[in-house]
Structures are given as C-alpha cells and as structure tokens.
C-alpha cells in the first residue's frame, strides 16, 4: 500500500470536529449515510478533525482485545468511506492525552446536579445499566473533545442541537470565570439534507448499533447475501403503492431514502419509476443499490485491515497533527486556570 503523507498545514478555513465511538464490530448504514458521507464533503470547506472516541467507549465494559480491534475497524471505515488523511486529521482520542486533561477542567466547572440531569446518564440509571462515574462525566469529556480544537462548528443533525449545549455552556462558563477568549464557543453546523436511516424492522426508530436487532441493521462489512436478505425482510405495510410518506408508510419511505442517497435519484424520480410495481421490486432494487455501493467500500476496508502497521501509522500521523493544536489550547487553559507551565 502506498504511504500517505500527514495532513497539509492548517488553512484559513474554519475548523470542524466530529467523532464516533468504537462500540461495535462495524459501523452501520445509518452511520455511513447520516454522517460519513457528510464528513467527506465537509473536507472541502473546513479544516477537519475526525477521531475515534475510544476513551468514551470505556464507559461500557469491553474486552481490551475487542476494543483495540474495534478501534482499528472504526478508523479504517472512516478512511474507506472517503475521509482523506492528507486533508483531515484522523486519530484516536486516547492518543491525544490533552483530551483527558481538559476533560478534568470541564468536570471542575460542572455541578454534580447538572451532571446527573444529563439525559444519557438519567436514561442509563433508569434502565439499571452500567451507570459508572465515567458515564456521569461523559458530557464533560465530550465538551473537551470539541473545545480542544477551537472548532468553529460541530456537525449535528436537527435533532442533536441539545447535545452541543453543554459544550457551549461550559465554554462560556470558563470564559466568564477566567477571561474571554480562553475557549472558542462552537456553533452547530446543521448538515442540510443529512439522511436519517431507520431500523429495517422498526422504521419508527433510527438504525442503531445498540438498539437495532440484527435483522433491522445493515453493517458495513456484512456479506452481500445477508444485506439483501435483511432488505427483503424489511417491514413495509399492507398498501402496495410505493410512495414517500413518513407518517403513514415509514418502512417504504426509509427504503426510498436509502435508494435515493446511494443512487443519486430523487425521491420523486423513484416514485415515478416504481409506479405500478410492488414492494418486492423496490426491495430487490434497494438491495442491489446497497450492495453495489458497499462493494468498493468493503474492498478498501480489507486492504486497510490487512496492513495494520500502515493504519496505525496514519492514526499516529493524525494524532501528531491533533496534538500540535491540543498543546496550544492546553497551554492557554493552564495559564488561565493558574497551573504552572510544564517544564521542557
């Protein structure tokens, strides 16, 4: 495999940051169409930083060997999906230790009651889950992830704006206490037209690594025959008309969205092409489109995973670029909060 150079020097473009947790053996089609394809586009507009959130993954008990493998797989899927390490910093969260350091500072700015009111922690406690202290302070580390890179924007869907609010609150709190300009207060970047891919078996719910059943999910490394089988068994309705109607025909609408995003055909064009045809034809065509789109992705994945040393080198190079920014931020933070400068 050809060796890749480090990302180019940061440009005047505003900075953007996003990440994903390595909490399953593969990303799924919802991750790909809802996030990864947009990350690729954003590289043209922004100085992009994309990371595997392996520290966040520690809030759930995982075998160490499994976590290492999942981390490599997640990073490889970023690259196979089109993220270019020559233009974007691709790295592991744990390789930039400043994340944990700034996370501690954010913890010290957060009241206990405020942390306990965070939705993720409350939901986990209510369900009797693994509600450890790491999960309690998860939003503070997430805020540190973002604030570390002076990111002007964070890409979020319309339904995710609230996830950014704690980060903005903490940045404003830090600046009020220690002086304006200490931390950049990021803005949400609403990705227009971002696809929301629903569970194939429960089209009222989003496709999810943790919430979907195996039949409701399409993972990106799935065997083509299994992909086709899951799509053929997708829940639709008793009305045979193929049309986009999220309220009354969520399953059919979900299949049309998947087809549209991958094929480039508009929903209206697809509705016209399936006029007088049934759901069997729709499912077969969607399966063909998905398999065709994932075939080169899977080939690139195998290439990357067959050369773990090169994949690790790409991650090390991305971490070096990220660390250069993180050091500058932490020097500023340490000075503001009153910590002595580290010896050289």
pLDDT digits over 17-73, tens only? 999 999 889 999 999 998 999 999 999 999 999 999 999 999 888 899 999 999 999
Q: Is 124 a catalytic residue?
A: yes
Q: Is 209 a catalytic residue?
A: yes
Task: Tell me the three state secondary structure of residue 302.
Answer: helix
Number of separate helices (H) and strands (E) present in the chain: 15, 5
CA nearest to 331, candidates 101, 106, 114, 35:
101
Check: CB of residue 152 under 8 Å from CB of residue 187: yes
Q: Which residues of 21-56 are buried (b: 16+ CB within 10 A; e: fewer)?
A: bbbbebbbbbbbbbbbbbbbebbeebbbbbbbbbbb
From 209, 215, 226, 249, the catalytic residue:
209
* Assessment of whether the complete model's pTM goes beyond 0.75: yes
Q: Are strands 47-52 and 15-20 parallel, antiparallel or unpaired?
A: parallel
Check: CB of residue 29 under 8 Å from CB of residue 226: no
Q: What is the pLDDT of residues 213-262, one digit of tens each?
A: 889 999 999 999 999 999 999 999 998 899 999 999 999 999 999 999 99
From 86, 122, 124, 127, the catalytic residue:
124
CA nearest to 17, candidates 139, 151, 142, 160:
151
Using CA atoms, how far apart are residues 141 and 119, in angstroms rounded to an integer?
A: 15
Q: What is the pLDDT of residues 144-196, one digit of tens each?
A: 999 999 999 998 766 567 678 899 999 999 999 998 879 999 998 877 666 78
From 86, 122, 192, 206, the catalytic residue:
206
């Amino acid at each position: 495999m050809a060796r890749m150079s480090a990302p180019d020097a940061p440009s005047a473009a505003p900075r953007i940051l996003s990440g994903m947790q390595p909490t399953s053996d593969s990303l799924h089609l919802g991750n790909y169409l809802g996030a990864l394809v947009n990350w690729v586009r954003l590289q043209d507009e922004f100085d992009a930083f994309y990371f595997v959130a392996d520290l966040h993954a520690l809030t759930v008990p995982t075998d160490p060997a499994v976590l290492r493998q999942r981390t490599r797989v997640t990073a490889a899927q970023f690259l196979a999906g089109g993220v270019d390490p020559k233009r974007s910093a691709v790295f592991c969260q744990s390789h930039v230790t400043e994340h944990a350091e700034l996370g501690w500072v954010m913890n010290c700015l957060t009241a206990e009651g405020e942390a306990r009111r965070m939705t993720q922690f409350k939901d986990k406690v209510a369900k009797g889950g693994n509600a450890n202290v790491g999960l309690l302070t998860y939003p503070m580390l997430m805020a540190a992830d973002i604030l570390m890179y002076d990111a002007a924007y964070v890409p979020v869907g319309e339904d995710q704006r609230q996830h950014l609010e704690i980060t903005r609150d903490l940045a404003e709190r830090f600046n009020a206490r220690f002086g304006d300009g200490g931390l950049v207060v990021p803005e949400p970047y609403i990705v227009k037209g971002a696809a929301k891919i629903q569970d194939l078996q429960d089209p009222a719910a989003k496709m999810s690594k943790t919430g979907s059943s195996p039949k409701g999910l399409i993972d990106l490394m799935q065997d083509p025959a299994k992909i086709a089988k899951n799509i053929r068994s997708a829940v639709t309705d008793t009305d045979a008309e193929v049309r986009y109607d999220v309220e009354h025909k969520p399953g059919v609408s979900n299949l049309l969205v998947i087809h549209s995003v991958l094929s480039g055909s508009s929903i209206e064009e697809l509705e016209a092409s399936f006029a007088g045809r049934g759901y069997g034809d729709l499912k077969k065509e969607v399966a063909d489109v998905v398999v065709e789109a994932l075939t080169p992705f899977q080939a690139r994945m195998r290439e990357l995973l067959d050369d773990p040393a090169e994949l690790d080198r790409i991650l090390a190079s991305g971490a070096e670029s990220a660390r250069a920014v993180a050091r500058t931020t932490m020097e500023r933070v340490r000075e503001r909060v009153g910590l002595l400068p580290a010896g050289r």
